[in-house]
Chain A
Amino acid sequence: MALDVESRQVVETAEGEVFDQLVVNVGPSHPSTHGVCRVIVHLDGEIVTRAEPVIGYLHRGIEKMAENRTYLQVVPLTDRLDYVGSMYSNWAYCRTLERLADIPVPERAEYLRVIVCELQRIASHMMAIGANGADTGALTLFVYAFDQRERVVELFEALCGQRLTYNYVRPGGVSYDVPDGWIEDVRAFTTEHRSALAEMDKLFFGNTITRGRLKGVGVLSAADAVAWGASGPVARGSGVNWDLRKHDPYSVYPRFDFDIPTGTEGDCYDRARVRLYECYESCRIIEQALAQMHSGSYRTEGLPRLIAPPPGDAYDHIESARGALGIYLVSDGSPRPYRMKVRSPAFCNLALLPMLSEGHMLSDLVAILGSLDPVFGEVDR
């Protein structure tokens, strides 16, 4: 059976030393693999000598399916790519389509997109930090973080009726305008979220056990982060100051005042900490966006149901919670995409796992995997 691996191997090192190697199969269903990742781990005692991720357990063929859907029917498919942060896939796809078919977007829609995507960043990072805590034995943090995520999900439910797969960002705008009282609810949430973040910072990041488990584990140098194509909090945790919101500004992001938190060490601790500070910055962006947003139309009226862009191709990317999420579309003039390709940040970040986990204990492997924050809907597509 495909799941069986040879459990003992005799290995001879270059120096002529012979030792027994234990091969352990982790996954594809394992609570700490964040989905359906399978890692074949080669162990010397308790030290990982080689970790080999096996992906594809959630390959659903979304890119191929898109070729048989009209451009509007692809939007719900993109929801299922990165299911922890569906708004990003929606937005990246819609931006590419808007560029390809030259669809205008009203200003209010751009602000709404920024607000929901920053809320989504908070929800996604809460999941990542909480899972990082749960992997290292601090399940309490997961409960704290999931409480915050649940509030964001409630806001989304009030906005578009769905808790997880929103289908909210549509070509030419968004699907609904804000309901009554929603803006006040978001303001109340950001205030409350800041104090919750401060609490989590003290509870988790100041904790001696956490520091012992995460500091110095899975160190990624800035040069490696760039060379391996890492992006998002994984690259920023290593001190690479690269964020598409600042360095390739899109939408209305240039109008906001915010900072890019970066780490210094590049270990699991810094990656998790960067995510926490990004939540503060997201709160800042949301508050500014709410103050600047004017009334107006939330979508472009009169768009045809069957969008048939002129032949050609387009690529656009946004900064998702996991990094640079890009979508490439090729049109042959018909109302269906000729080809859709997703540049998935989770896939690129997961490629770092063998390098980062080498030489660490098996129990650190889950901490490293958690700090890379892969979502397998997006890795396998």
Chain B
Amino acid sequence: MAIVDRIGAALDRSPGGVILTGVDALADWARGKSLWSMPMGTACCAMELIAASFNKFDFDRHGTFPRPDPRHTDVMIVAGTITYKMMPAVKRLYEQMPDPKWVIGMGNCTVSGGIFYYDTYSVVRGIEEFLPVDVFIAGCPPRPESLQDGILRLRELIEQESIAPGKRRERPLTLPSPEDGCGEGE
């Protein structure tokens, strides 16, 4: 947990309201507590993604607010099966998100293709074929609580990051492109 979480208690003890902390700790605290999400719901998991955002589970209290516009968001939650026809659209939306950005893969289909791993010709076997994924959540579909756990795990990952150029967590700089011709529908 970042130092700034204990900011209130620290203010009491500090003379003149001055707190010393690292720039990284402050940046990671700010990033991790307000992860606006891009709900990339394609199939069944989208229902649980909606359920997680509404009454009973209420995602907003974690600071995770769904914005269906990639340019406003920090984390893309890929919920559901990605077919070869859908893949270019997902990739393009990911590219439109501003840095720093993270990806959560929700459901077995994003892990490996899940139930659609065998005998089908149209399903991408795991979104890691074309997206750098930070957190995977297993389940078919996962419960909304699992998704919330995924957000908390992502927050832990973010708190280990640094904003210094040389110290960033290693991420692929260029995305592997899909094989020529595949996924280019029509």
Contact = CB atoms under 8 A, between A and B. Distances in A.
Chain A interface, DSSP helix/strand/loop, else mixed:
loop
Contacts of B88: 1-3
Contact of A56 (B81, B85, B143): B85
Nearest to B51: A150
Interface in B121-140: 121-123, 140
Contact of A60 (B51, B54, B83, B89): B83
Contacts of B115: 76-77, 80
Nearest to A59: B122
A377 B43 CA distance: 7
Nearest to A149: B51
B42 A61 contact: no
B27 interface: no
B68 to A, nearest CB: 4
Interface string B34-61: 0000011111101110110011100000
Interface stretch (A16-24, A100-108, A139-147, A229-237): A139-147
B90 interface: yes
Nearest to A81: B44
Interface stretch (A26-34, A219-227, A245-253): A26-34
Contact of B54 (A2, A83, A146, A164): A146
B34 to A, nearest CB: 20
Interface in A322-381: 376-377
What 9 A-B pairs have minimum CB-CB distances, sorted nearest first?
A83-B44, A31-B68, A61-B120, A68-B119, A57-B86, A146-B54, A65-B119, A2-B184, A2-B185
Interface of B: 39-44, 46-48, 50-51, 54-56, 68, 80-81, 83, 85-86, 88-90, 92-93, 115-116, 118-123, 140-141, 143, 183-186
B59 to A, nearest CB: 13
Nearest to A127: B47
Contact of B50 (A146, A147, A377): A146
7 contacts: A56-B185, A57-B85, A58-B86, A61-B119, A65-B116, A147-B54, A165-B141
B81 A65 contact: no
A165 B54 contact: no
A68 B118 CA distance: 9
B123 A60 contact: yes
B42 A58 contact: yes
Contacts, number: 112
A314 interface: no
A64 B88 CA distance: 24
**Chain A interface size range:** 35 or more
Contact of A59 (B83, B119, B143): B83
A197 interface: no
Given A56-B185, A58-B83, A163 B48 contact: yes
A80 B44 contact: yes
A98 B54 CA distance: 39
A153 interface: yes
Chain B interface, DSSP helix/strand/loop, else mixed:
loop
Interface in A297-314: none
Contact of B116 (A60, A147, A165): A60
Contacts of A377: 43-44
A165 B89 CA distance: 26
A2 B91 CA distance: 13
A60 B40 contact: no
Given A2-B186, A3-B92, A28-B89, A60 B47 contact: no
A59 to B, nearest CB: 5
A54 B50 CA distance: 24
Contacts of A56: 83, 85, 185
B48 A164 contact: yes
Contact of A36 (B68, B86, B92): B86
B102 to A, nearest CB: 18
Contacts of A64: 119-121
Contacts of B39: 31
A30 B44 CA distance: 16
Interface hub of A28, A29, A31, A69 (most chain B Cβ within 10 A): A29
Contacts of B183: 2
Contacts of B56: 147, 150
A53 interface: no
